[in-house]
Amino acid sequence: MLSLNKLINKLVKGKSGSDGRRSADPVIIPREEHSISRKQISQNALNVLYTLKDAGYEAYLVGGCVRDLLLGHEPKDFDVATNALPEQVHKLFRRSRLIGRRFKLVHVHFGRDVIEVATFRAPPEENNHVDEQGRIVQDNVYGNLEQDAWRRDFTVNALYYNIRDFSIVDYTGGIQDLNAGLIRLIGDVETRYREDPVRMLRALRFVAKLGLKLDKNTEAGIFQLASLLKDIPPARLFDETLKLYLTGNAAVTHELLCHYGLFDEMYPQTAALLHQEKDGYPRTLLMKALENTDKRIDDDKPVTPAFLFAALLWEPVRQRAQLLMENGMPDITAMQRASSEVIIEQVQRVAVPKRFSLVTRDIWNLQPRLIKRQGKRAFRSLLHPKFRAGYDFLALRAESGEPFTELVAWWTEFQQASATQQQKMVDSLGGEGTGKKPRRRRRRRPAAKNVQKDS
């Protein structure tokens, strides 16, 4: 990475304007003064860059991949920015697709690998492209490299790697902020958050992922404007939830979301109960679930969003089911009713698709069933398609302080036992707790006699 002193000397030559912009001339960091090597860049991304360059267009790596390479991280993907129009890009690559309605992008396919190519964009015009709340409703105006840099969200995401001379182009002071360990919004903080409130979530995700800290104005804006998330479509907040919780930094990210009040806007049922918790159980279970999720991701093991949502929403389901049982409803029925009510309310904020919410309900509904093991119940539970997820959740509950340690141990042994041993384990439980009432024999009525009437 370029030394901090050299960068600061270069950057301070241009004075900042009233809108936070530095001079129009970008800082150009030559190849010998930064750490990015073509060996670190995907060969597919290099193919796209060179194809655009050889066709006479500008071509840059941009955004998170440049930021991550400078920080010594392996980028998740590589994005390309160019002055070529989407249709022109599409013609250059046989295996490419035009996508997007509001603003067209090109996806260039190399097997499973996809390189996203975007044409330089201009910032939205205040009068024509922003609604009364300040949100962007139209941003499909093409621009140049400088405009594209200034319309991006954070300075560390507005760095461009130029394939022509392997230099880095920095209009917004991103390198300086990167060296200072700062996440800073480009431009006026309130304006940028109002344009797209999801930027608050992105800021915290970068803090958790990169170990950086928020610039003081960027941070203050989140406290002030967290409620703007109410206006974000629930489907988009579902996508953001997966990015926040399923990228290996769930535990840290969750703490940040709670600290800045964003979790309250996304998961209000759970947040309300976390605020009033007395025994610490709800937070303990959720944090253990998130830590386990992070560990599975680190170990390259699969994770399912359904289990994540089961943990995120368990406390409102548990308390609602408990209240229903106190009012006389059977435990399994109460759990089913509570599960449905909590999901219905939650999807108004975060639209959890049915393919996940149905599995989440199965996990919850298995909890009272796993307690009842007599007769054929244990065998039926074991054959349930989501038994393993339900069992794992029961183990999580026991680990978090609920009195199910012996029950979890029983199920652990039961899964591994032979059929004969399983039957012995069930028989040893006795008949208590089956919940069955003795059947009453139905009295058979005598058959009606056919009586012939006299004619």
Looking up tokens 């944090």 gives 287
Angle between helices 354-371 and 387-399 (to 10 degrees): 70
At CA 203, angle to CA 201 and CA 206, rounded to 5?
Answer: 110
Q: For 173-240, list the strands marked E by DSSP.
A: 182-183, 213-214
Pairing relationship of beta strands 168-170 and 159-162 according to DSSP bridges: antiparallel
User: What is the spatial distance between Cα 425 and Cα 90, in angstroms, rounded to a whole number?
Assistant: 65
Q: Where are the alpha helices (DSSP H) in 327-418?
A: 331-346, 354-371, 377-382, 387-399, 405-416
How far from the centroid of its chain's Cα atoms is residue 96's Cα? 27
Residues in Cβ contact with 439 at an 8 Å cutoff, skipping those fewer than 6 apart: none
End-to-end CA distance of the chain: 115
Q: Which of 114, 51, 122, 62 is nearest to 88 (CA)?
A: 51
Torsions phi, psi for 420 (to 5 deg): -65, -45
Residues in Cβ contact with 5 at an 8 Å cutoff, skipping those fewer than 6 apart: none
For 41, which DSSP code? S
User: What is the spatial distance between Cα 48 and Cα 52, in angstroms, rounded to a whole number?
Assistant: 6
How far from the centroid of its chain's Cα atoms is residue 61's Cα? 25
- Tell me which residues are annotated as active site: 77, 79, 153
User: What is the spatial distance between Cα 61 and Cα 446, in angstroms, rounded to a whole number?
Assistant: 89
User: What is the spatial distance between Cα 407 and Cα 403, in angstroms, rounded to a whole number?
Assistant: 8
User: What is the spatial distance between Cα 407 and Cα 394, in angstroms, rounded to a whole number?
Assistant: 9
Residue 119 · residue 82 · CB < 8 Å: yes
Cα Rg, the chain, nearest whole Å = 29
Distances (CA, A) of 228 to 199, 200, 201, 231: 11, 10, 11, 6
User: What is the spatial distance between Cα 122 and Cα 139, in angstroms, rounded to a whole number?
Assistant: 8
Compute, in degrees rounded to 10, the torsion defined by CA atoms 313, 318, 323, 324: 90
